[in-house]
Chain A
């Protein structure tokens, strides 16, 4: 064991400890509004990173993330709401008896939300992953719409357009960012495993990968359903954050925001998705001022509704046209880089990254 490796392990552990301490501090010292935005950022980080797995690392242009979020959000909501709330809210048609009395704690419900979304990922992937590029994009977009339409129409399970409310609320940074950090760690491990190499091989050249003996369909399915799993988790977190959900929330606009995060951060870089997820969420909130009336030096400037999205679409176009690598390209943050900068003991076996 060379000492650089142990330094890195120590640094990772230290980083995690500092992160937990920071989150704990934040929970006690930040305003509710700041917490809400930071929690939203955690959700977008999970969404960005998981979509990056599908688009950036596996080369499948899927536009179905909002659909899987929808599945996750509904699963978590139905599992965690109290039986009394369900009785109150399902006033159009009573909820089916099977689900009426279940009430799970939040963490298992969240994992279940991921699992159910993952199963939907397999179901959708089975037909869709035989397609490529544009056809895959439009088919997954179609599936996301179909999921939303089914959710709207199956009233005795989802309460239809009335949506669900009184979903147990979670507010702490530790909760949302805990899931966020776990997601990143799991995805990082996945990408550096043999599966991850297979994903990248398929992305770079499908035919060559197949010739090398990689089972293309199996690996695509794996990546796609893991992406769906994390989208489901993010959906569940969204349900706890807002405490009320309805099918119209999960429109294509959501997927657009996630694509923006992936592209801006760099397709094929988890680090990029994390940075872009946080930056975009905060920018979305702060850019609000361009849409609100303000007075500047005695002049009243009317707000321009829609301006935020114009800025973001332009940003997406600029990045994709002129700076296709995004913020990070396919590079990742790693301790080696930090240690190199600090001039600490060079290792002989540098990571190939």
Chain B
């Protein structure tokens, strides 16, 4: 492998890994609080993608406005979802809550199919935001630089919220111990709904970035990134925000390098994430940063 090809692979790995990292942060926030895989989190990516799509194409909004509206609406949807499908089951057996999450996920996907049709749609790439960069023979999209920056900014924002605000303190209390926190006069409902709002907002940003990077959207587009980013979150230590980011990068880099160094195994690429997941769960169930957690949201 020549140096140029290697550098190209590094660029590919960064652009995929930073997307995974971005989406994984949202997962880990929500999971850290309610200890429930929100299967429907993945479908929020899709919802944000479609709202942006229609905003830009049908209502001819400038892209930044469409993106902001998409983030706002997705956040509201996330909060509504919590209230309707998860809150009533908070004290029910875990299995019921999981089933509810699966039901919610299928509902969003199929509502998507009913409302916008199953066939994929081309997502517009605003010219001021996405362009091709060539460095020697290495080429990548501007997004490869933009997405990691956004990821770091959001990471810093989440860090500030969790550590420096009262809500953040309440969040940490709830994530440590639900019941004790509620006895200590923490408004658990408010904390959970805030977490869902932040998590869904992050999902929306992730969904928009995903749609820009892979500009073809369809109602099932969230399923695979969703699963993989959940795995990234587990890998990093569920509940740990920096862990989720590290997990996302490791997963993205791993997938790209697997194909780069063993092209004959490229058909097994999608299995890579699951194999990693199972190994992590067996040998280090706490995840990479799980044992001595710095930020437990």
Contact = CB atoms under 8 A, between A and B. Distances in A.
Interface of A: 55, 59, 61, 127-128, 130-131, 133-135, 137-139, 141-143, 145-146, 149-150, 152-153, 256, 259, 263, 267, 304-307, 309-310, 312-314, 316-317, 320-321, 324
Contact of B106 (A131, A137, A309): A309
Contact of A316 (B89, B92, B103, B273): B103
A150 B95 CA distance: 29
Interface in B151-169: none
Interface in B238-281: 267-268, 270-271, 273-275, 277-278, 281
A321 B85 contact: yes
B37 A138 contact: yes
B110 A309 contact: yes
A324 B110 contact: no
23 contacts: A55-B95, A59-B95, A135-B285, A138-B277, A141-B227, A142-B277, A142-B278, A149-B267, A152-B267, A153-B267, A259-B102, A305-B113, A305-B117, A306-B112, A307-B114, A309-B106, A309-B110, A310-B114, A313-B103, A316-B99, A317-B100, A320-B96, A321-B88
A135 B98 CA distance: 11
Contacts of A320: 89, 96, 99-100, 103
A121 to B, nearest CB: 15
B111 interface: yes
Given A259-B102, A313-B103, A133 B267 contact: no
Interface residues of B, number: 43
Nearest to A324: B96
Nearest to A135: B281
B5 interface: no
Interface of B: 35-37, 85, 88-89, 92, 94-96, 98-100, 102-104, 106-107, 109-114, 117-118, 219, 227, 230-231, 234, 267-268, 270-271, 273-275, 277-278, 281-282, 285
Interface of chain B: mostly helix, strand, loop or mixed: helix
Contacts of B219: 306
B107 A314 contact: yes
Given A133-B95, A142-B231, A320-B103, 17 more contacts: A127-B282, A135-B234, A138-B277, A142-B273, A149-B270, A150-B268, A153-B267, A259-B99, A306-B110, A306-B111, A306-B113, A309-B113, A310-B107, A310-B114, A317-B107, A321-B89, A324-B92
Given A61-B95, A134-B94, A152-B267, A146 B274 contact: yes
A144 to B, nearest CB: 9
State the majority secondary structure of interface residues on A.
Answer: helix
Contact of A134 (B98, B113, B270): B98
B94 A133 contact: yes
Nearest to B270: A149
B114 A61 contact: no
Contacts of B106: 256, 309, 312-313, 316
A127 B89 contact: no
A146 B275 contact: yes
Contacts of B281: 127, 131, 135, 139
Contacts of A321: 85, 88-89, 100
Contacts of B107: 310, 313-314, 317
Contacts of B270: 145, 149
Contacts of B94: 61, 133-134
B103 A317 contact: yes
A262 to B, nearest CB: 9
Contact of A310 (B104, B110, B271): B110
Contacts of A59: 95
A242 to B, nearest CB: 23
Nearest to A147: B271
A55 B98 CA distance: 12
Which of A61, A134, A312, A317 has the largest count of B CB atoms less than 10 A from its CB? A134
Which 6 pairs show the lowest CB-CB distances between chains A and B? A306-B113, A142-B274, A313-B107, A309-B110, A316-B103, A313-B106
